[in-house]
A = this chain, B = another copy of it.
Amino acid sequence: MTAYSRAEALTVIQREMTAFARRARASAARTHPELSLVSFTLLAHLEDRQGCRATDLAAHYLLDKSTVSRQVGNLERLGYVERRTDPEDHRIQVLHLTPKGAEMLAQAAESRRRAFAARVEDWDEADLERFAEYLLRYNDTVTREDGTDA
């Protein structure tokens, strides 16, 4: 089908990924104004990992500690996140989703998933799976290289 050189494929991937990124924030904001893309992402990460530290979030998303600190502060103020100081090490605050946060996340995820699903309506299962796999594979590479995550 395609006749890309390796370099061309790389260029396309980069360009399209960033194009996607640009739009994601805007459409996320429209779909669910309550929860910005950043907040959404952080909550999703907390759910995925069943709680983690602010530092982990910062490392994973290449954000500054201060940024994460304030974001988490907001989420806590909204009642979506809860801090549990580690009894072993009082420096550490393990962040957890509250039930309210989990519910909000589920709602946002659902409405976004719906909007997204409409766009890939005509994709067959195999393509979707492979697409998901590629993304996982790529992001996993990044994570390892940066030594960011546990």
Interface residues of A (CB under 8 A from B): 1-2, 4, 6-28, 37-38, 40-41, 44, 48, 60-63, 109, 112-113, 116-120, 123, 125, 127-139, 141-142, 145
List the number of copies, as a whole number: 2
Nearest first, the 5 closest Cβ-Cβ pairs linking A and B are A21-B21, A26-B62, A16-B135, A12-B132, A9-B128
| Contact call B127/A134, Cβ cutoff below 8 A | yes
Residue of B nearest to A121 (CB): B141
List B contacts of A1 (CB < 8 A): 129, 133
Please measure, in the bound complex, the distance between the C-alpha atom of A60 and the C-alpha atom of B21, giving whole angstroms: 12
Interface of A is mostly: helix
Least CB distance, A25 to chain B, in whole angstroms? 7
| Contact call A131/B134, Cβ cutoff below 8 A | yes
| Contact call B41/A117, Cβ cutoff below 8 A | no
Residue of B nearest to A140 (CB): B16
| Contact call B116/A10, Cβ cutoff below 8 A | yes
Q: Contacts A9-B129, A21-B20: A14 and B139 contacting too (C-beta < 8 A)?
A: no
Least CB distance, A129 to chain B, in whole angstroms? 5
| Contact call B128/A13, Cβ cutoff below 8 A | yes
Please measure, in the bound complex, the distance between the C-alpha atom of A116 and the C-alpha atom of B16, giving whole angstroms: 13
Residue of B nearest to A3 (CB): B129
Q: Contacts A63-B22, A142-B119: A112 and B12 contacting too (C-beta < 8 A)?
A: no
